[in-house]
Chains A and B, each alone.
Chain A
Amino acid sequence: MSAAITASPLRRKRDWPKHSIIWAFILIELFPLYMMFQVSFKDNASFIRQPWLPLWPGEWQWDNWVFAFKLIGPYLANTVFVAVTGTVASLFLAILAAYFFARHKLPFSGFLWSAFLILMLLPGVANIVPLFMLLKNMSLLNTLLALILVGVAGAQVFNIFVLRHFIEDLPKDLFEAAEMDGASHFQQVINIVIPMASPIIGTLAILAFLNKWNDFLLPLIILRDKELFTLGVGLIYLDGEYVKQWGQIMASYFLASIPLIIIFLFTMRLFVRGLSAGAIKG
């Protein structure tokens, strides 16, 4: 919007109805967050007495948070492990494969490319039952490795698709110069592709991380041991408790969000761009 319009006081005056509607939307949207935060400091008695307003900071029940940390802490560690390993591995493999497709046209590369693209049409739903049996036969049930492997496989198509076009657009001179100096393909990937493609890699990494953080169906189906639970399964079991301590539950929910909050604070720009770009391509 041009500066001339902003300057006009008349226009600014007419903006307030829009502002109030937007604020109404946003406040309702943020209301669950507010509830989560303030209830996390209450015990059931004070919550039932006064559900809406927060307690005075002096009366805050930090016990809830201690309980939540003890409960959720191991799940958090498992989820971070799965999400980080999975994200790194899937991006590394995708970069290599994208480099293969982008740099040279070798025999069968067209065929291989369509083999990847067809996967975009396969909806994941129909696969879940045979996937479970496959993991059972590979004796990967009840392991975190299974989550990582399936996650890596699932992320390949989209990442290769985006990265291939990005690598194709890199200046060709760079690769030729590197080849003159006797750099192998692997060295070219490490020294040229990864540094040059770092913005798109960052965006893809955030999307992959978010995806893994939000995943709960696969962990629910394959994990049995409490020590291996990821956040998803852990929270589902917490929800199944008979007598609910809302304060403890809300504190756990909040704790489950903290890693995402940290990432969000540091990578706000990538976050916003990654979400819109990912949505357009996806």
Chain B
Amino acid sequence: MAFPLSRQKLLREWRLYFFVVPSLVMVLTFAYFPAASAVYHSFFDWSGGEAKQYIGLDNFKRAFTDSTLLNSFVTVGALMVFNLFKMIPSILLAVLIHRLFSDRWQYVYRALLVVPMIVPQLVTLFIWKFILDPNLGALNRVIEATGLKSVLVAINDFFGWSVFFEGVPIGWLSQPELILPALFIWGFPWIGTVGVLIYLAGLQSISTEIYEAAELDGIGPFKKFIYIELPLILTQVRLSLVLLIIGTLGGYGLQLLLLNEYGGPGGRGMVPGLWMYNRGFVAGEFGYACAIGMILFVVILSLTIINNRYVRVEK
């Protein structure tokens, strides 16, 4: 434990400050300075050079009437709903693995789940791009082979959409209407290795006696999940929720690589982070990009605070 020092000892220990200085310098330069600079420049018309002009709150006024930005918040809201839904398979899988009677199999499955982690995220992303490819991709081939295509075409004709056609491959990433569905399918079956592992860690604390008691009372598998397993992993579920909110709101790498700087055809995949990137590095409006960053920061921060307040994580 750290403890207070006498004056005399302090004189001897001053060298210890040198231990924290390198870290501090790094953090000040590469984290605090850019953050402060972002706040400062969000009030300027700045295209990255020496010349900049103070324009007060104009960047923020512009942001609140910027239809692209406002739509991007709608899109990211939809992605958030998708991601909430995508949490379910990991929870189910963790419960299934936990309910197995054999320890050896539990270990085998845990190891198998970690295997996809050895693939760099970027490669996973590109493989998914390949799966969604209209001509060669696995998804379209599966849809054709199982006859699902004619069902889709029938639905399409019934509702009068012009999305699916007989004999034309489905362009998941090139048709504006299909961008959001494609982002939903992305990552199927939505198993998050880290998620499953932390849920399993939470489930570990359930003793066999509880299961036996439940069995004697004739409680079915579904009720077991609701009354025994879910309460125990609620802490972990809430934690994943917080991480998910931060990650989804701030993330834009997926959209940038899967689509492009403009959020794909029709800009349907545009998210706030990507719009910030776009304004900064494509349009060169660095001041405005900083302002978007600020707005995003405030949104993320307030959601995190709400989360900490109303979604308690008991330890």
A binds B: yes
Q: Is the CB of B121 within 8 A of A214?
A: yes
Q: Which of A22-30, A59-67, A195-203 contacts B (4 or more CB under 8 A)?
A: A22-30
Which residue of chain B is the closest to A124 with respect to CB atoms? Answer: B250
Q: Which of B59-67, B155-163, B171-179, B191-199 contacts A (4 or more CB under 8 A)?
A: B191-199
B residues in contact with A99, CB < 8 Å: 19
Cα distance A210–B121 when bound, in Å?
A: 10
* B162 CB to nearest chain A CB (Å): 28
* Interface assignment of B290: CB less than 8 Å from any CB of chain A: yes
Q: Is the CB of B96 within 8 A of A123?
A: no
B residues in contact with A235, CB < 8 Å: 122-123, 126
B residues in contact with A172, CB < 8 Å: 1
Cα distance A236–B197 when bound, in Å?
A: 30
Contact residue range for chain B? 35 or more
* Interface assignment of A257: CB less than 8 Å from any CB of chain B: yes
Q: Is the CB of B19 within 8 A of A97?
A: yes
* Interface assignment of A121: CB less than 8 Å from any CB of chain B: yes
Residue-wise, chain A 75-95 has the 8 Å CB interface mask toward B (1 for contact) of: 000000000000000000110
Most chain A CB neighbours (cut-off 10 Å) among B30, B96, B109, B121: B30
A residues in contact with B191, CB < 8 Å: 25, 29
Which residue of chain B is the closest to A107 with respect to CB atoms? Answer: B10
Asked whether A104 and B3 contact (CB < 8 A) given A6-B101, A154-B30, A217-B253, the answer is yes
Asked whether A236 and B300 contact (CB < 8 A) given A129-B276, A185-B19, the answer is no
Q: Is the CB of A106 within 8 A of B16?
A: yes
* Interface assignment of B230: CB less than 8 Å from any CB of chain A: no
Q: Is the CB of B31 within 8 A of A100?
A: no
Asked whether A25 and B120 contact (CB < 8 A) given A105-B5, A126-B293, the answer is no
Please give the number of chain A residues whose Cβ is less than 8 angstroms from any Cβ of chain B in the complex. 97
**16 additional contacts (CB under 8 A) given A15-B100, A279-B197, A279-B243:** A29-B113, A32-B128, A96-B19, A100-B19, A103-B2, A112-B20, A119-B31, A121-B301, A129-B38, A129-B289, A132-B281, A133-B48, A153-B31, A156-B26, A217-B253, A278-B194
Ordered by A's residue number, 17 sampled pairs between the chains whose C-beta atoms are within 8 Å are A29-B189, A97-B20, A100-B17, A105-B4, A106-B17, A115-B27, A123-B301, A154-B30, A154-B31, A231-B120, A235-B123, A239-B126, A260-B119, A271-B114, A272-B111, A276-B194, A282-B243
Q: Give residues in A with beta carbon < 8 Å to B.
A: 1-2, 5-6, 11-12, 15, 18-19, 21-22, 25-26, 28-33, 35-36, 47-48, 51, 93-94, 96-97, 99-107, 109, 112, 115-116, 119, 121-134, 136, 149-150, 152-154, 156-157, 160, 168, 172, 185, 189, 210, 213-214, 216-217, 221, 231-232, 235-236, 239, 246, 249, 253, 256-257, 260-261, 264, 268, 271-272, 275-276, 278-280, 282
